[in-house]
Amino acid sequence: MANAMMDVGISTVKPIPRVDVSAVAALILDTQLESGEIPWHVGGKTDPWDHVEAAMGLGVAGHIDAARAAFGWMRRQQLPDGSWYAAYRNGQPEDRTRDANQSAYIAVGAYHHFLITGDIDYLATLWPTVARAIDFALGLQAAGGEIHWAISPEGQVDPMALLTGSSSVLMSVRCALAAAEQLGIRRPGWRAAASRLAHAIRHERHRFNVTKSRFSMDWFYPVLCGALTGVEARRRIEKYWSKFVVKDQGVKCVSDEPWITVAETSELCLALTALDNASTAAAVFGWIADKRFEDGTYWCGHTIPDMTVWPEEKITWTNAVVLLAADALFGLTPAGGIFNHRFWRPSGDR
């Protein structure tokens, strides 16, 4: 990767301070409710995707029982059609939209947890939940491969198809297929659906009919999910680097807003490690090393150039993805390579 990315200044990067894993995990644990539910922050809402991300962070930190409590909450809250509502508060639905991406992400969490623990029996326990969730998400797949994003509270399919959300669904299906392989289960229909979805992301992006190109996730999620690999992936990262990346600060959430977010910066690190560019990923990760509260937990984001921390809440899923990025960079657990494209090569899409 050259040009704009070479301006990262790897040779001058200071040593990266250690991530205080205990402090980050403590934030998630202290926010988790007795039911296992993990809100965004104390008193905040819970959505299924970020709840699972927080559970994955607990797994990286070694809090297996707490992670399983979070998965248990998901099992109990799953709706008959395999979905979850888009938002809850203290276990009660707050937004009855049923989102394909939000629902499918349980597969990534379940397989990630298996990679950490090696516990095939627990994976089997989660399998029915995962299988119903993937069936729900793929039930919203259009003929062209893209995923319609949700079913409205009134029961209508929303035909909007989002590149970021569909990319995340692809990662979820790949993890579900990998879990199925571990359990000796075949799902050829899922494999065919994943192939159609990957083709749309790779070659027919016009099918994603609502543009979110201002958002950095639309930039790197096709790489993060493995739809784009090799030269094609590197070219995409390079093409929009200067649009979203602010040297020494991190990644903008939205290209035309002066807001750097720790989560998007950490996810870019995951995309870079997926491409085996650990040196650039480490440099970028170093930019958020000081974006922390005194207790060692990470800001959600800050404005530039005035460096106003916003919002002030300590966000569980933001801190969780910092742990995922650290795991990808430093190999903290056996799940550290789950987003790496090499991880998926031996058996393709499994």
Residues near 109 by beta carbon (within 8 Å), at least 6 away in sequence:
52, 53, 55, 56, 71, 74
C-alpha span between 147 and 177 (Å, rounded)? 18
> Which bin fits 106, alpha (ψ -120 to 50), beta or left (φ > 0)?
alpha
Q: Are 83 and 33 in contact (CB under 8 A)?
A: no
Domains of the chain: 3-10+18-344 (1.50.10.10)
Q: Are 221 and 168 in contact (CB under 8 A)?
A: yes
Would you call 71 exposed, middle or buried from its count of C-beta atoms within 10 A (0-12, 13-18, 19+)?
buried
Instruction: pLDDT tens for the chain, 350 residues: list them.
Output: 445 554 554 434 456 668 999 999 999 999 999 999 999 999 999 999 999 999 999 999 999 999 999 999 999 999 999 999 999 999 999 999 999 999 999 999 999 999 999 999 999 999 999 999 999 999 999 999 999 999 999 999 999 999 999 999 999 999 999 999 999 999 999 999 999 999 999 999 999 988 889 999 999 999 999 999 999 999 999 999 999 999 999 999 999 999 999 999 999 999 999 999 999 999 999 999 999 999 999 999 999 999 999 999 999 999 999 999 999 999 999 999 999 999 997 654 44
Q: DSSP letters of 29-88?
A: HHH--TTS---SSTT--B-HHHHHHHHHHHHHTT-HHHHHHHHHHHHHH--TTS--EEEE
Query: What pTM did the predictor assign?
Result: 0.95
